[in-house]
């Protein structure tokens, strides 16, 4: 599989530079003789460029991977672009662009923005860049397990940085967020600086909430590997009366114009004609069984025709509906979400369920409501949308299922991460063609090549392996990352 480059050119009021990013490759910032070199740039110039790099990758190729591996979508039998993803047959050359775009592009710019902001005493940009650095690093760690951190971004001084383990990186990022929160960041930004903030338009209260919510998410990621530390971190947040996001952290700058469209729409619909991705029966059966009205938002119809996950080689004579199945309902101006209001409430509900730091039922209900508010819809009243007040596992299961149902057209990769961490949705014992199949449970891809084992990570790309001799030995993609459920 090779995903071609997509560019987004967005006018940033603080710079005339052209910002380019894509589903498989994010280009360097174009050189413009009327603008300063990158090493002389300010945080105000670096930060929006880095945010668009993160958005281009998280909302592009990773949205496709997340959507397929979280079983919202599957490969169409009438095309072949994403067969390697759907069959868990990834190759080293598949993800060069995403890895480089997030690491060499976004993270390098965030780090330089942090340095420039600290030097200039611009603490709002210091916090913003630190939070987005942590968010972007977390995505990489959660996908690859180990990446350079302590020796990263030293330029010519160290062209082959060592790889740090995910736990070390998480601890470092949490400390960096705390250091940024300890500064005098909460000051009003001038109009030009506020416009450089594509997420919250310079609202530093929201950046504090984003920082706290990201910390909560990172601590909950640690529950399998370091349960005592995870609990201590969560309790410390609540002891400090941390506040959490009650608005979406999203990039909403896309227009239906050349090189300015939402990245997953631009690639799968505008460039490929919408031929490759189709609704997965795993997800549509769950939505239908629960009378969930979001099915129209996700697939454009109340009665989508879906394909069994990974059954892209189904004979047309045996499965005729597969060739006219329903595509995901992407739009050219859709935002790219980093963390939604619903996810924030569901994270808080999980923390409350595990550690009794709040009303889990009230927070669950708020999460469900926020997920439907995103589409101006009313939640159903069925059992799946009610907090069970049962065992811890009953409660966690309900929370994660609702999170999973909220991620399409949002940030699908999180559905994959949640399942790896919690085991929900459960893995089905039968394929979805079987009469005993339970809607919503995940099935092993019909054309999977990993012997019945589900993917848990990405493989390091050729670009990293050929440039850095410290790249760790390759392990199977079915090996859990450090925080994954064994």
| Peptide bond connecting 324 to the previous residue in cis, omega within 30 degrees of 0 | no
Average pLDDT of adjacent 10-residue blocks, the chain of 486 residues: 43 31 33 52 94 96 96 95 94 77 94 96 97 98 97 90 97 98 95 96 98 98 98 98 98 94 94 94 98 98 97 88 94 97 98 98 98 97 97 98 95 97 98 98 97 96 89 94 92
Which of left, alpha, beta for 140 (phi over 0: left; psi -120 to 50: alpha)? alpha
pLDDT of residue 202: 96
Contact, 9 vs 266, CB < 8 A? Answer: no
User: In 10 A of CB 452, how many CB atoms?
Assistant: 9
Q: Please name the residue that has the structure tokens 């902001």.
A: 117
pLDDT of residue 39: 59
Q: Could you give the angle at which helices 166-181 and 204-221 cross, rounded to 10 degrees?
A: 150
Q: What is the pTM of this model?
A: 0.93
Task: Report how far residue 405's alpha carbon sits from residue 293's, in angstroms, rounded to the nearest whole number.
Answer: 11
Locate the DSSP E strands across 80-202. Answer: 146-148, 163-165
Using DSSP's 3-state secondary structure scheme, residue 140 falls into: helix
pLDDT of residue 225: 97
What one-character DSSP code corresponds to residue 164? Answer: E
Those residues whose C-beta lies under 8 Å from the C-beta of residue 2, and which sit 6 or more positions away, are 24, 93, 94
Task: Report how far residue 55's alpha carbon sits from residue 124's, in angstroms, rounded to the nearest whole number.
Answer: 20
User: In 10 A of CB 316, how many CB atoms?
Assistant: 11
| φ/ψ (deg, to 5) at 67 | -65, -35
Structure tokens at 302: 């109340």
Which of left, alpha, beta for 425 (phi over 0: left; psi -120 to 50: alpha)? beta
Using DSSP's 3-state secondary structure scheme, residue 433 falls into: coil
Task: Report how far residue 403's alpha carbon sits from residue 337's, in angstroms, rounded to the nearest whole number.
Answer: 14
pLDDT of residue 38: 60
Q: Which residues pair with 250 in a beta bridge?
A: 337
Domains in the chain, start-ordered, CATH in brackets? 38-251+333-433+441-467 (1.25.40.390)
| Segment holding 278, helix H or strand E | strand 277-279
The H-assigned helical ranges of 266-375 are 281-289, 294-299, 341-355, 360-373
Contact, 126 vs 117, CB < 8 A? Answer: yes
For 345-383, give the DSSP string.
HHHHHHHHHHH-SS-HHHHHHHHHHHHHHTTT-PPP-SG
pLDDT of residue 9: 39
Structure tokens at 149: 């951190």
Task: Report how far residue 446's alpha carbon sits from residue 309's, in angstroms, rounded to the nearest whole number.
Answer: 7
pLDDT of residue 95: 66
CA quadruple 212, 214, 217, 222: dihedral sign: negative
pLDDT of residue 17: 32
Contact, 296 vs 287, CB < 8 A? Answer: no
């Amino acid at each position: 599989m090779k995903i071609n480059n997509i560019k987004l050119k967005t006018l940033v009021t603080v710079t005339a530079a052209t910002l380019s990013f894509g589903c498989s490759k994010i280009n360097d910032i174009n050189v413009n003789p009327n603008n300063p070199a990158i090493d002389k740039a300010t945080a105000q110039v670096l930060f929006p460029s880095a945010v668009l790099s993160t958005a281009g990758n998280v909302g592009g190729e990773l949205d496709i991977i997340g959507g397929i591996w979280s079983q919202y979508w599957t490969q169409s039998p009438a095309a072949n672009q994403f067969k390697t993803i759907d069959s868990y047959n990834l190759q080293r050359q598949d993800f060069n662009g995403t890895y480089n775009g997030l690491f060499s592009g976004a993270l390098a710019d965030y780090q330089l923005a942090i340095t420039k902001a600290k030097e200039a005493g611009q603490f709002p940009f210091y916090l913003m860049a630190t939070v987005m650095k942590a968010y972007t690093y977390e995505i990489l760690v959660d996908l690859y397990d180990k990446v350079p951190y302590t020796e990263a971004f030293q330029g010519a001084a160290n062209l082959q940085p060592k790889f740090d383990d995910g736990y070390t990186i998480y601890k470092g990022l949490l400390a960096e967020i705390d250091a940024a929160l300890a500064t005098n960041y909460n000051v009003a930004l001038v109009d030009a600086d506020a416009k450089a903030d594509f997420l919250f338009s310079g609202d530093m209260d929201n950046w504090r909430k984003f920082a706290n919510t990201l910390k909560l998410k990172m601590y909950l990621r640690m529950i399998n590997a370091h349960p005592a530390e995870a609990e201590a971190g969560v309790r410390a947040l609540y002891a400090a009366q941390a506040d959490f996001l009650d608005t979406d952290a999203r990039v909403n700058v896309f227009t239906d114009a050349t090189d300015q469209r939402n990245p997953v729409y631009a690639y799968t619909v505008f460039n490929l004609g919408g031929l490759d991705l189709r609704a997965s029966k795993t997800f549509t059966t769950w939505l239908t069984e629960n009378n969930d009205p979001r099915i129209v938002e996700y697939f454009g119809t109340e009665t989508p025709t879906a394909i069994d996950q990974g059954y892209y080689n189904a004979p047309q004579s045996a499965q005729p509906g597969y060739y006219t199945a329903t595509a995901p309902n992407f739009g050219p101006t859709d935002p790219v979400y980093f963390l939604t209001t619903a996810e924030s409430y569901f994270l808080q509900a999980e923390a409350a369920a595990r550690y009794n730091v709040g009303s889990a039922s009230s927070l669950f209900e708020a999460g469900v409501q926020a997920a439907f508010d995103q589409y101006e819809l009313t939640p159903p009243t069925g059992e799946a949308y009610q907090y069970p007040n049962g065992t811890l596992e009953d409660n966690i299961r309900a929370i994660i299922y609702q999170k999973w149902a909220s991620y399409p057209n949002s940030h699908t990769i999180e559905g994959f991460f949640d399942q790896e961490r919690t085991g929900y949705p459960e893995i089905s014992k039968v394929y979805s063609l079987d009469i005993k199949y339970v809607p919503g449970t995940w099935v092993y891809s019909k054309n999977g090549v990993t012997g019945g084992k589900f993917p848990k990570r990405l493989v390091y790309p050729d670009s990293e392996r050929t440039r850095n001799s410290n790249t760790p030995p390759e392990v199977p993609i079915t090996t859990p990352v450090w925080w994954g459920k064994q």
